[in-house]
């Protein structure tokens, strides 16, 4: 069965996705016309968004990537998020734009803001493709660029996964079987 | 040994949680370095003529850095309805209190998101 056949619906078609990314890129290009921002993205979910967004930005930029541990099974009571891959570049005095695939609870973004903010950038903003506010815990995030506000559904595709699958779909889809549905 | 005020943000100060979901939620907050307190405040909702509290509501968590209360509701629907009524009343009486409710589906979504849901 093809990946796309396992979806209940397409939430954001590829054309709409790409059109919105070009709009975001235009705004970023205008806002950073006199600066060279460093776009920072987190592996792996934001890879496709980062690739398409940066190619649509018309001003000079640099980019870098981070990777952090995710909360999950086996985390002991004293487990804490930690960097798996740190930035290669220094960010002190630079204009940093954190590029996220989705902001859901906001816990990951808040952690990243804390560690990036501690490195004394000249500015620190967030660009997220998807903004799912239904379960937001940290609601003080400086989201300056927002692609789509989405409803409380489990989305996959365009970098977003369910058990590491579906990332390579070129659109945002909703899983046919809702993993969060109550048990029978 | 739990602290009497239910404050926590480290493995050494765990309060006695009423439900497994609350303990898991506390671990999630700890993981991301979010400070929390467990049931630190009880909000009176109804009093009798003598001023005695007849009904109150104690949200599960308080996140001091965000001035936000969080209530986890993983109960069956009949109990959720009762809790919803309490939440509505709390918002009427304490409009400045910021409260976020996580219903059963929200909580299950969190478990799925973090790979904790049972298959």
pLDDT per residue over A6-16, tens digit each? 888 999 999 99
Q: How many CB pairs under 8 A join A and B?
A: 82
The catalytic residue among A64, A104, A120, A152 is A104
Task: Please give the biggest Cα pair distance in chain A.
Answer: 57
Distance CA(A29)–CA(A39), nearest Å, equals 12
Mean pLDDT of chain A: 91
| Spans of all domains in chain A | 14-151
As given in the structure block, the two tokens for residue A137 are: 């815990």
Q: Minimal CA–CA distance to A24: which of A36, A11, A10, A39?
A: A39
pLDDT per residue over A122-155, tens digit each? 999 999 999 999 889 998 899 999 999 999 888 9
Q: What is the DSSP letter of A44?
A: T
Q: Chain B contacts of A166, Cβ < 8 Å?
A: none
The structure's pTM equals 0.84
Q: Which residues 21-40 of chain B have a CB within 8 Å of chain A? A: 27-34
C-alpha distance from residue B68 to each of A16, A138, A161, B97, B100 (Å): 35, 9, 30, 8, 7
The pLDDT of residue A107 is above 70: yes
Residue A180's pLDDT band (cuts 50, 70, 90): low
C-alpha distance from residue A28 to each of A31, A33, A63, A80, A140 (Å): 5, 8, 14, 33, 21
pLDDT per residue over A18-63, tens digit each? 999 999 999 999 999 999 999 999 999 999 999 999 999 999 999 9
The segments of chain B whose pLDDT lies below 70 read 1-13, 75-77, 115-119
Assigned fold of A14-151: Rossmann fold (3.40.50)
Distance from CA of B81 to the nearest CA of A (A): 17
Nearest C-alpha in A relative to B77? A182
Report the relative pairing of strands B43-47 and B36-38 from DSSP bridges. unpaired
As given in the structure block, the two tokens for residue B92 are: 């009427």
Q: Which residues 47-106 of chain B have a CB within 8 Å of chain A? A: 63, 66, 68, 70, 100, 102, 104-106
Beta carbons of B32 and A71 less than 8 Å apart:
yes
A161 is catalytic: no
């Amino acid at each position: 069965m093809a990946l796309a056949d396992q979806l209940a619906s397409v939430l954001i078609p590829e054309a709409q996705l790409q059109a919105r990314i070009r709009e975001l890129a235009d705004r970023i290009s205008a806002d950073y016309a006199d600066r060279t921002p460093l776009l920072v993205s987190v592996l792996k979910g934001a890879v496709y968004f980062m690739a398409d967004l940066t190619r649509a930005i018309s001003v000079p930029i640099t980019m870098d990537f981070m990777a952090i541990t995710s909360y999950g099974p086996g985390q002991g009571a004293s487990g804490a998020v930690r960097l798996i891959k740190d930035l290669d570049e220094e960010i002190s005095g630079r204009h940093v734009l954190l590029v996220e695939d989705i902001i859901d609870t906001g816990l990951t973004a808040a952690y990243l803001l804390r560690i990036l903010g501690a490195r004394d950038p000249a500015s620190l903003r967030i660009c997220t493709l998807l903004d799912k506010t239904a379960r937001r815990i940290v609601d003080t995030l400086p989201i300056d660029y927002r692609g789509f506000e989405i409803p409380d559904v489990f989305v996959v595709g365009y970098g977003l996964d369910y058990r590491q699958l579906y990332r390579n779909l070129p659109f945002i889809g909703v899983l046919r079987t809702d993993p969060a549905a109550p048990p029978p | 040994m739990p602290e009497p005020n239910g404050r926590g943000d480290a493995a050494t100060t765990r309060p006695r949680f009423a439900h497994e979901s609350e303990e898991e939620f506390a671990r999630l907050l700890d993981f991301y370095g979010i400070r929390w307190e467990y049931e630190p405040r009880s909000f009176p909702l109804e009093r009798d003529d003598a001023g005695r509290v007849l009904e109150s509501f104690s949200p599960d968590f308080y996140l001091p850095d965000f001035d936000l209360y969080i209530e986890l509701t993983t109960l069956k629907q009949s109990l959720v309805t009762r809790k919803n009524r309490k939440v509505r009343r709390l918002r009427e009486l304490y409009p400045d209190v910021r409260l976020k409710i996580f219903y059963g589906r929200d909580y299950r979504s969190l478990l799925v998101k973090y790979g904790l849901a049972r298959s």
